[in-house]
Amino acid sequence: CGEISVGAYGNAPVHIGCEIKLYIHMAVSENDISLYGFEKYEDLDLFKMLITVSGVGSRTAAGILAEKNSLDIIKAIGGADVDFFKKIKGIGLKTAQRIIVDLKSKIGGLGELDLRDNLPLLEDDLVLSLQQLGFERKEIENVTAKLPKDLEKLEEKLEWCLLNLGR
């Protein structure tokens, strides 16, 4: 009987005999054949990207995904957050830098992300958009603090902020 390495499987407990759906990656090396299972296809996709980085093998990539949420990983890559990766067991400064440099241009290839589950990404885009339009950080913080909760799309939030910045 073989094994499949699986990180945290959502929020639901998994029991023996429980049926689950996994996206599988088979890693073949000189001395080993391992299977890695992922609940979401996006996690498998990110895993495949991580193992393209020099110094990041299958075990390390699986460890990163087991410890951190994939959307947080993507945000850390996009924001060049070296400290985010250094906090993960087995990742040093050089590897953290390599992950960011090698994957920053590739993270757009991860397909559609549900930004409702990751509002900080949306908020960062909103702040950057407003800064590029010439607004100061302080006035952006003041107006975004008052954003109505029912606005989900970036365009809606941007329009609301522009109307309320009063220029």
Quickly name the fold that domain 4-110 has.
DNA polymerase; domain 1 (1.10.150)
Q: How far apart are CA 153 and CA 151, in angstroms?
A: 6
- 27 backbone dihedrals φ, ψ, rounded to 5°: -105, 120
pLDDT at position 62: 92
DSSP-derived secondary structure for 16-43? TT-----EEEEEE-SS-EEEEEESSHHH
pLDDT at position 12: 55
Q: What is the CA radius of gyration of the chain?
A: 19
> Six-digit token pair at 43?
């996690």
Domain residue limits, the chain: 4-110, 115-165
Helix intervals (H) in 32-153: 41-50, 58-67, 70-78, 82-86, 93-103, 119-132, 137-144
Is this structure's pTM higher than 0.95?
no
pLDDT at position 4: 64
> Six-digit token pair at 89?
């067991």
pLDDT at position 82: 93
Q: How far apart are CA 127 and CA 85, in angstroms?
A: 24
- pLDDT values of the chain reduced to their tens digit, one per residue, 167 residues: 456 666 654 545 667 888 888 889 998 888 888 899 888 888 999 999 999 999 999 999 999 999 998 889 999 998 889 999 999 998 999 999 999 999 988 876 554 444 344 444 456 678 878 887 888 888 888 888 898 888 888 888 888 989 998 76
